[in-house]
Amino acid sequence: MIGSIVISFLFVTLSACDNNQSVAMVSQSAIEIDDTPRVIAHRGANEWYNESTITAYQIAAETGVDSLEMDLRMTKDGELIVMHDETMDRTTNGKGKVSDYTLEEIRAFRTMESDDSKEITEKIPTLKEILETFHDTQNYYIETRLVDEKLAMEEKLIQLLEEYQLLDKELVTIQSFSEESLMKIKELAPDTELALLFRKGSFSLEKAHTVDFPIIGIESTDVTKKVVEELHKKGKEVHVYFINKKTQKEEQERVLEYEVDGYFTDYIHFTKEILAH
């Protein structure tokens, strides 16, 4: 829901009058609760720097986003790194599946980007390195997945989040396309905020209604006014992701009319601008 809600509280105090009688003195103060949709930096500030790198997340943090979004992959020796793709090919100078390499071997590769005048490289970060960089100064929106169709990364993830005391401070949302992964997280850390993702074209309102997760993540072209209204009636938030960068800005403006609750954005300034109007 867009805008803000003002909740007024009445405070009653007793004051002695000249005749020693107590009378009620009523004072009123207002607390403003920000109800603006969340701006979630998709893979960091990837519009300006190599996606899923510490620098990309630092830039995003400096813009004042609500959460830093990151995808987890697990190395051959069970370490968690931050990378979206199953393979190294698209975003690094490496080749092949992340799960075929140990962390030490991955250290030899670099993320790659070009600004037309020079090649920009940066190391592939581990989740621990990102947590070490930001500690409790940011909110984290972390995506888990099955590893070779099996639960594997959940215990390691919760262990790291507990090590940095982020769960107690309610600074973490965990999302996944895998209900199995989310249920494991719920078992390990029952109070963690969870989001179930639906792939493009596979959204089911009936399923979204019935699952026991407070946030539903939907690809933008599957978002309609009815979908948002029905999920809001169930007390669920709707967070929207975009897989087509060419139409993303247009789609962000479209779903804005439906009062969605979160944007996984590749265009941070644009999103903040339309939400400010």
Res 119: pLDDT: 87
Query: What is 39-81+127-276's CATH superfamily?
Result: Phosphatidylinositol (PI) phosphodiesterase (3.20.20.190)
DSSP tag of 36 = P
Res 44: pLDDT: 98
For residues 202 and 7, what is the distance between their CA atoms, to the nearest angstrom?
39
Res 232: pLDDT: 98
For residues 203 and 182, what is the distance between their CA atoms, to the nearest angstrom?
17
Check if 269 is active-site. Answer: no
How would DSSP label each residue in 142-163? EE---BTTB--SHHHHHHHHHH
Crossing angle between the packed helical segments 154-163 and 127-134, to the nearest 10 degrees = 20
Res 115: pLDDT: 72
Res 7: pLDDT: 34
DSSP tag of 228 = H
**Which segments of the chain have a pLDDT < 50?**
1-34
Check if 84 is active-site. Answer: yes
Average pLDDT, the chain: 90
What are the backbone dihedrals phi and psi of residue 5, each rounded to the nearest 5 degrees, phi first?
-110, 130
For residues 139 and 38, what is the distance between their CA atoms, to the nearest angstrom?
11
Res 170: pLDDT: 97
pTM of this structure: 0.87
Res 60: pLDDT: 98
